[in-house]
Amino acid sequence: MSREILLPRARELIAPDIDLVKPTMLEFLRATSTAIDGEREQSVWSRGSFFHPIQDTTLVDREFLSVLSVEERNKMVTMIQACFVKDLDWYFIGLPAQERDIREVLQTVYDAGISFSWEDDLDRVEKLDRVFKELNTAVLLPWVHNNS
């Protein structure tokens, strides 16, 4: 599929009230401790580093989460969503300014991923994961390979 088809699908996942939700959601998720806090800053940025947030959306796997209590599941999903935010925050810092098309793709995914609480809507996280992987195949990986 093409970027022209996939980006609107990603935009459909963005909550209509994102402008109201975004500041609070970002503040909360950036303050949430994750297992890899401190490690991101020591990593070397590369074009392919966007793979980390894709792993985050994939980690919200229903079978894995189904063995946890609701409280454990919610804590785990919140931590994974915090990783998603912190991973993309870190990626955006290193992304060259001239890469506007890639920034638009990743910003759309980012906005979709922060416009709702993942623990409240696992179906939407699955949709986000699916479209992120499709964008990876159609847009992101070709950009990485063509610029390496």
pLDDT higher than threshold 70 for residue 63: no
Could you read off the pLDDT of 35-59 as tens digits, one per residue? Answer: 888 887 777 888 888 888 999 999 8
| Residue 6 to residue 12: CA distance in whole angstroms | 10
pLDDT band at 148 (very low <50, low <70, confident <90, very high): low
Length of the chain in residues, anyone?
148
Residue 2 has pLDDT above 80, yes or no: yes
Give the model confidence (pLDDT) of 118-133 as tens digits: 999 999 999 999 999 9
Cα–Cα distances in angstroms (integers) from residue 87 to residues 16, 45, 92, in the given order: 24, 11, 9
pLDDT band with cut points at 50, 70 and 90 for residue 65? confident
Q: Mind listing the pLDDT tens digit for each residue in 15-40?
A: 999 999 999 999 999 999 998 888 87
Average pLDDT (94-114) is: 96
- The mean pLDDT value for 82-105 works out to 95
The mean pLDDT of 4-19, rounded to a whole number, is 95
pLDDT at 67: 85
> Residue 47's pLDDT is what?
85
Widest pairwise Cα distance in the chain = 45
Residues 6 or more apart in contact with residue 60 via CB below 8 angstroms: 77, 80, 118, 122, 125, 126, 129
